[in-house]
Amino acid sequence: MKLGKLTEVDVRTIWPHEQYDFSKWLASEENIQELGDLLNLTLTEVETEKFVGSYRCDIIAKDELTGKNVLIENQLEQTNHDHLGKIITYASGLDVSVIVWIVADAREEHASAIEWLNKHTTDDVAFFLIEIHVFTIEGSSPAPMFKIIEQPNDFAKNAKSYAEKGKLSESQTCRLEFWNQFNDVIDQRGKPFNKHKATTDHWYTVAVGSSKCYISIDLVNKDHKIRVGLWIPDNKDFYDSLFTHKAEIEKAFGGQLDWDRLDGKKSSIVSIDIKGLNFKKQDNYPELMNASIDNVVSLKNAIIPYLNG
């Protein structure tokens, strides 16, 4: 087998100008989705050239699942103190929770600064330092590649935050451990959907590409089960519309689902239970986690054709 030679290309030959070339390229749906996949975020409401006082940041977006603001600052050169100051200024001015600094070359001292910020800020703020590289293979079209240099250490940061607040009960510890292992399984399976930070919550949400609904994986330890459900908040008409396609949705899903309109409440849910959860007996965790992921993917694919109905 003949192997090609990988050659790195100067990013400035691909995007001569950060604002007019790179930011415009990155803000396109396909490329912002690729960055979101890398960050385990679902980036929506993308805006370019947002003003912060007399300054102007490159890209501001929102994470669909959490509603948090995401700042993206681009620097197609070696990192410098000026841009480090800018990302902090922009972050405070726009009230963002995720700060992404994309550069051509990350200097060691600035990587250390981002690492320090992640260690010494609360769990509500996350800093990413990412290099952008471009490669060709023997004259092929240039291919961009993102490389994470620094990112938050979710488990250490979450555990520290909760421990300092004195709120880490036995159940919370078990849930935090479960979700951290769950994120590892998502990675092992090639990220069939975007993961997000492990927390002590009993739920883990997954975006489906519409504000009408979302999928939640719920740990119901007292009933020894995991529930994978499509939650429809405050929209009985949409639930009724889906229910008219119950047979088609269950056929696409590959099994029966529990349909609960929850009359008298704002939300409705379509769900399936996975039996066998026990925080004190964790030997079946891999089986439970894989079954949860399978059900999320199947449920999402089954309802996608009806989201615009």
Same topology between domain 6-152 and domain 167-306: no
Cα 201 off chain centre by: 16
Say if CB 64 and CB 39 are below 8 A apart.
Answer: no
Say if CB 198 and CB 176 are below 8 A apart.
Answer: yes
Query: At residue 116, what is the residue type?
Result: W
The pLDDT value recorded for residue 156 is: 45
The Cα 148–Cα 102 span in angstroms is 9
The pLDDT value recorded for residue 102 is: 96
Would the pLDDT of 180 be above 50? yes
The Cα 282–Cα 299 span in angstroms is 25
Residue 154 banded pLDDT, cuts 50, 70, 90: low
The strand ranges marked E within the chain are: 6-9, 43-52, 55-63, 69-78, 98-105, 126-137, 143-150, 203-206, 214-220, 225-232, 258-260, 268-275
Half-sphere exposure of 86 (CA within 13 A, CB side): 20
Q: Across the chain, how many H-helices and E-strands are there? A: 10, 12
Structure confidence by residue, pLDDT tens digits, 182-206: 999 999 999 899 888 788 888 999 9
The Cα 163–Cα 159 span in angstroms is 6
Residue 176 banded pLDDT, cuts 50, 70, 90: confident
Token pair, residue 241, equals: 């519309």
The pLDDT value recorded for residue 138 is: 86
Q: Which residues pair with 105 in a beta bridge?
A: 78
The pLDDT value recorded for residue 309 is: 60
The pLDDT value recorded for residue 264 is: 85
Residue 54 banded pLDDT, cuts 50, 70, 90: low
The pLDDT value recorded for residue 159 is: 46
Alpha helices in 121-203 (DSSP H): 154-165, 170-188
Euclidean distance between the first and the last CA atom of the chain, given in angstroms as a whole number: 50
Average pLDDT in the chain:
88
Assigned CATH topology for domain 6-152: Trna Endonuclease; Chain: A, domain 1 (3.40.1350)
Structure confidence by residue, pLDDT tens digits, 65-114: 677 889 999 999 999 999 999 888 888 888 888 999 999 999 999 999 99
Assigned CATH topology for domain 167-306: Yope Regulator; Chain: A, (3.30.1460)
Closest C-alpha to 226, from 262, 265, 185: 185
How is the chain split into domains, by residue range?
6-152, 167-306
Q: Is 158 exposed, middle or buried (0-12, 13-18, 19+ CB in 10 A)?
A: buried
Residue 167 banded pLDDT, cuts 50, 70, 90: low
Token pair, residue 260, equals: 């609960």
Structure confidence by residue, pLDDT tens digits, 200-215: 888 999 988 888 899 9
Mean pLDDT of 5-19: 91
Say if CB 233 and CB 267 are below 8 A apart.
Answer: yes
